[in-house]
Chains A and B, each alone.
Chain A
Amino acid sequence: MKRNLKFWTRYTWESAGVVLAAAAVLAVISLFSAEGLDFATFAAVMPYYLCIAAIFVMMMINSGSQTLYVPLLLSMGETRRNVLLGFHYYRLLIIAATLALCSAVWLLMPGEVSSVGLRSIPTLLCVLLIASALGSIMGTIFVKWKWAGTVLIILLCGVAGGTVGFAGAASDKFLDMARMARVLSHFETLPWWLIAAVPVFLALDIAFQWLLLRRQEVKL
């Protein structure tokens, strides 16, 4: 298990770099679209970009991990159970690191948007967990039925493109403290259905993945 943790921790570290890079891209796009720069608002909004980037990276990397790293680790003598546990550990670590960074930014940049952000953490946690489970289910589909996985990835890319566009447009219109706080305040309330969806998606993901993994054949 120690070796497994070592591998997935390092892998998380590498993925974190991609998350930061993706968040930076979103931030740069929104900066270019903004008419006037309000640094405090921009910094307080950055964590949301970080969450969006984490969602996309988890979804995209999940597919890649399941296609390459899962068989690779099995070929190196790891048990299927440990591979499954390691994979979930990696996803939880990404979510924990993302939320920790978000919290740190909001604590360092006090203001209305930051306060809203800190109160939104439970909602963001649920959203990240669901997105991560969805990404993993998508990865499993990609391994088993390549064509269906490819369609899902194309759809995801479409959503990603749309989000980038929205980030640009939104920054143009909303990059003032009051409007931004109003829009983001929707995240403060944590609806019951979102809480209920988390265990459902996680259970679906684990069941789906285990069904594939327990009989998976190694191909490199």
Chain B
Amino acid sequence: MSLHCENIVKTYGGKDVLYDVTLDLKPGKIYGLIGRNGAGKTTLLSILSAQNPATKGTVTLDGEPVWEHRKSLAKICFSRELNANAESGIAAMKAKEYLRIASTYYEDWDKDLEGRLVKIFDLNLKKKFGKMNKGMLSMITIIVALCSKAPYTFLDEPVAGLDVVAREQFYKLLLEEYSSSGRTFVVSTHIIEEAADVLEKVIILHEGKILIEADTQTFVDSAVHVSGKIEEVDAAVAGLEVHHTETVGRSKGVTVFLKPGQKVDEGRDVSVQPVSLQRAFVALCGEEEAK
């Protein structure tokens, strides 16, 4: 079983927001979908869940199309970020009603888990969305995502507006649900460092294209930060894929992505340090600004 999209193109007003995206989401994994603002993360998740139509390309689940296919759609939950200021009028809706509708539509809805999560997050379900803060709205989207029990569950910025304690709770609950159910989660987030330990796979989306789709650890291990005198660094990384160069006086620091079998020249007087997922991401996608 896998959720597969092929050659997805999404165009708005003549501009490609997603360009030729091909992706295969395997069952039983936690994917991190990371990218800068406007990279196309929400659009991609919307297309994968048939909430938005693609301009070109196909999405299939176990070989069956997802678009207008109830059986496939029943296995996918994209718990969207709620915007109480939106013109849809959702601000006037009570959290209780929203969860009731969700429980009607998701056939494996876990009512007990819903009760438990409402207690953990200390939510007042009688409140209207318009009276809720950003963190509370995120909690509602988390409840829908976890209680839906959908084999493929997407969360868009689930920790936006949550305080550090609530964020910790979310990651704990996500891992708990993941280990007990073996569902596939795709988590789109900007708070990369916190999520890094949870994400098994990472998908980096940049300007509408997939730059990286890899095991998180393999990707992080492939990146190193090399610093030292300019000439020493240049010699040490010669022939390697260099990103994100920072020069201060006669010193230089670069992030290098090593291919299998490659390594930094150890004979040079340079410091070679591992990098975090966030630094590796910034090196890849923030390159132009750094220059």
Write the residues of chain A forming the contact surface with B, with a CB cutoff of 8 angstroms: 3, 6-7, 64, 67-68, 71-82, 146, 214-215, 217-220
Contact = CB atoms under 8 A, between A and B. Distances in A.
B76 A77 contact: yes
Contact of B49 (A7, A73, A77, A214): A77
A71 B76 CA distance: 16
A77 B104 contact: no
Contact of A67 (B73, B88, B104, B106): B88
Chain B interface category by residue count:
20 to 34
11 contacts: A3-B107, A68-B93, A73-B105, A76-B101, A77-B106, A82-B70, A214-B53, A217-B46, A217-B51, A217-B52, A218-B51
B186 to A, nearest CB: 15
Given A67-B87, A215-B53, A79 B69 contact: yes
B102 to A, nearest CB: 6
A146 B89 CA distance: 13
Contacts of A68: 88-90, 93
A9 B76 CA distance: 25
Given A78-B73, A79-B70, A79-B73, A7 B105 contact: yes
Contacts of A219: 86, 88
Nearest to A214: B53
A78 B76 CA distance: 11
B101 A7 contact: yes
Interface stretch (B77-85, B166-174, B195-203): B77-85
Contacts of B102: 76
Contacts of A79: 68-70, 73
B105 A78 contact: yes
Most B Cβ at <10 Å: residue of A64, A74, A146, A215: A74
**Interface SS majority for chain A:** helix
Nearest to B73: A77
Given A82-B70, A220-B83, A220-B90, A3 B46 contact: no
Nearest to B78: A75
Contacts of B83: 220
A88 B259 CA distance: 58
B80 A77 contact: no
Contacts, number: 70
B105 A76 contact: yes
B88 A6 contact: no
Given A68-B89, A218-B51, 15 more contacts: A3-B105, A7-B104, A68-B93, A72-B90, A72-B101, A76-B102, A77-B74, A78-B70, A78-B73, A79-B70, A79-B73, A146-B87, A217-B52, A220-B80, A220-B88
Contacts of A75: 51, 78, 80
Contact of B89 (A7, A67, A80): A67
B104 A6 contact: yes
Nearest to B12: A217
Contacts of A218: 46, 51-52, 80
A214 B68 CA distance: 9
A220 B82 contact: yes
Nearest to B83: A220
Nearest to B105: A76
A71 B88 contact: yes
A219 to B, nearest CB: 6
Contacts of B106: 76-77
Interface in B237-268: none
B105 A77 contact: yes
Most A Cβ at <10 Å: residue of B68, B105, B106: B105
Contacts of A82: 70
Contacts of B50: 77
A89 to B, nearest CB: 15
Contacts of A7: 101, 104-105
A50 to B, nearest CB: 26
Given A80-B68, A217-B51, A64 B46 contact: no
Interface in B24-56: 46, 49-53
Contacts of B74: 77
Contacts of B46: 217-218
A220 B86 contact: yes
A67 to B, nearest CB: 6
